[in-house]
Amino acid sequence: MTSNGSSATSSGTFAIGGDLVVNRMGYGAMRITGEGVWGEPPDRDAAKDVLRRAVELDVNLIDTADSYGPDVSERLIGEALEPGADGLVVATKGGLTRSGPGQWAANGHPEHLREACEGSLARLGVERIDLYQLHSPDSDVPFEESVGTLAELRSEGKVRHVGLSNVSTGELATAQEIVPIVSVQNRYSITDRAAEDVLEACDELAIGFLPWFPLAAGSATRPGGLLDRVADAHGATQAQIALAWLLARSPVMLPIPGTSSVEHLEENIAAAEIELSDEELAELDAVAAA
């Protein structure tokens, strides 16, 4: 199995691939597009303000994808920030196509992934993408072919590191035989732990885990429920507690909550300062089993 070179520290940072040191609370740039993750945002300047404010708050991991808009999120990042600047890691993804608001389709064909990567390079204004992730396996394309294309892009210097999204432990192991995998992005939250086995594999291999849809839902969030009570004890919101729990759950966890609001962004980032007690963590850990 190929080593990925990633490492975590106790200082609230994680070294993706061993050389991209990021603060563990990142920002997901899906919400700076139009409704349904389609088209331009209502206010382009406001979207850019959110991106710039994230960097001001020491967020140095920005996650996006060519399918967000499509192309819109990457273009805004390229205009508002300096993706090639030292210390700012922009991770993007290829492998999903769009036909309208809320509509997504996998395309893992090698020729599409190459075109997608070239488009991302141009929109971000960089010669090499820090972290390029396969957005989803495509059932119509052998998984090894899709991953092999990302391995080729890495060998050609267009991609620094390779990541995966929406994969199983088996797919992660298969990909690791082809190219070093430094991150996995799967759906995961305090109330949705279907990807627990994938997180455990990432923990064991010191691979970054980027949970998408990281905020809690369901009965645990009801008024007077556990999240509500813990939030009250910390003078925080339920969303902040859900994010604080994620950070405490594993040193490889890299939450990337998304928002189109500066106020909400500041609230999310502040969650990194919340220290949950052992008793609170034990109670919150039991939420999924309840």
- Catalytic residue set: 68
The answer to whether 71 touches 135, Cβ cutoff 8 Å, is no
Dist. CA 113–CA 202, nearest whole Å: 24
Q: Phi and psi for 106 in degrees, rounded to 5?
A: -75, 140
Structure tokens at 101: 């608001």
Q: If you compute the radius of gyration of the chain from its CA atoms, what whole number of angstroms results? A: 18
Dist. CA 163–CA 147, nearest whole Å: 9
Instruction: For the sheet with 20-23, list strands across it.
Output: 7-8, 13-16, 20-23
The answer to whether 132 touches 150, Cβ cutoff 8 Å, is yes
